[in-house]
Amino acid sequence: MKVIVCENYEEESKKAYEVMKDVITKNPHAVLGLATGSSPEGLYKEMVKDHEENGTSYENITSYNLDEYVGIDRNHPESYYSFMHKHLFDHVNIKPENTHLPEGSTQADADAYEAELKKVTIDLQLLGIGRNGHIGFNEPGTSFDAPTHIVDLTQSTLEANSRFFDNDINKVPHQAMSMGLGSIMRSKKILLVADGEAKADAVKAMVEGPVTEQVPASLLQKHPDVVVVLDKAAASKLSK
């Protein structure tokens, strides 16, 4: 696991973009695993900026998103489908037919997404991290082998995500569909971004703690090519 600590969020986002740009420059047909949440927003801004200013092309890029809420329409402003369009897809030349997000509410729908994922190799999987160490929506206790599945969100995640739903926990969907840890670990390379003090405990447990299903992100210690890009606050509890 390579850990890069940056002065602030802006620098972190630029650094993360360097990692992504290297992948898409070497392989203009790259398959990207994309993530939502506030953590990657800065990276998406860098992608859009580079596309607009330097013409970096996404014409032959394919994307698969990590997760999506269950029980809200995909046109809901807080769906991850809407998030991806707002922050990235509507601003670069990725072909709509090459973008994929989990859709549906049953395990059969999740199995169908997993089957799609198994047909490809994700060259770069982007991740954020939850305050309880979740990645995607793989909450503590999720099996390390899990494929794409339907998840009941934990209280900690419902609370954290209520900020997107008028600070009303009752408005937050209680379930989601998420790529599993097994699906994530098949990616060739993983790029995880985290910022802010609220993530410091989760980051420490991911990087320095034991590999345990209680901290889903700790499994990344077993992946051969992970780059973690942090701001100072998220890195503040690391021992070195």
Is 125 a binding residue for ligand GLP by CB under 6 A? The answer is: no
Shorter beta-carbon distance to ligand GLP: residue 36 or 62: 36
Shorter beta-carbon distance to ligand GLP: residue 60 or 156: 156
Strand partners, 127: 192
Is 230 a binding residue for ligand GLP by CB under 6 A? The answer is: no
Residue nearest to ligand GLP (CB): 128
Shorter beta-carbon distance to ligand GLP: residue 130 or 180: 130
- C-alpha angle 57-96-228 in degrees, rounded to nearest 5: 60
57, 120, 122, 150, 193 from 183: Cα distances, Å: 27, 11, 9, 14, 19
Q: At a CB cut-off of 8 Å and minimum separation 6, what does 71 contact?
A: 105, 173, 174, 175
Is 8 a binding residue for ligand GLP by CB under 6 A? The answer is: no
Among 139, 149, 195, 231, the active-site one is 139
Is 111 noted as a catalytic residue in this protein?
no
Is 85 noted as a catalytic residue in this protein?
no
Residue list 58-97, contact with ligand GLP (CB under 6 A) = 66-67
Is 132 a binding residue for ligand GLP by CB under 6 A? The answer is: no
Is 78 noted as a catalytic residue in this protein?
no
Residue list 142-161, contact with ligand GLP (CB under 6 A) = 157, 161
Shorter beta-carbon distance to ligand GLP: residue 30 or 192: 192
The long-range contacts involving 151-160, CB below 8 angstroms and separated by at least 24 positions, are: 151/175, 151/176, 151/177, 151/178, 156/130, 156/131, 156/132, 157/130, 157/132, 160/130, 160/131
Is 38 a binding residue for ligand GLP by CB under 6 A? The answer is: yes
Among 30, 34, 35, 122, binds ligand GLP (CB under 6 A): 35
Q: Which residues of 87-117 are buried (b: 16+ CB within 10 A; e: fewer)?
A: bbbebbebeeebbbbbbeeeeebbeebbeeb
Strand partners, 228: 3, 192
Binding residues for ligand GLP, rule: CB under 6 A, are: 35-39, 66-67, 128-130, 136-137, 157, 161
Q: Which residues participate in catalysis according to the annotation?
A: 67, 132, 134, 139
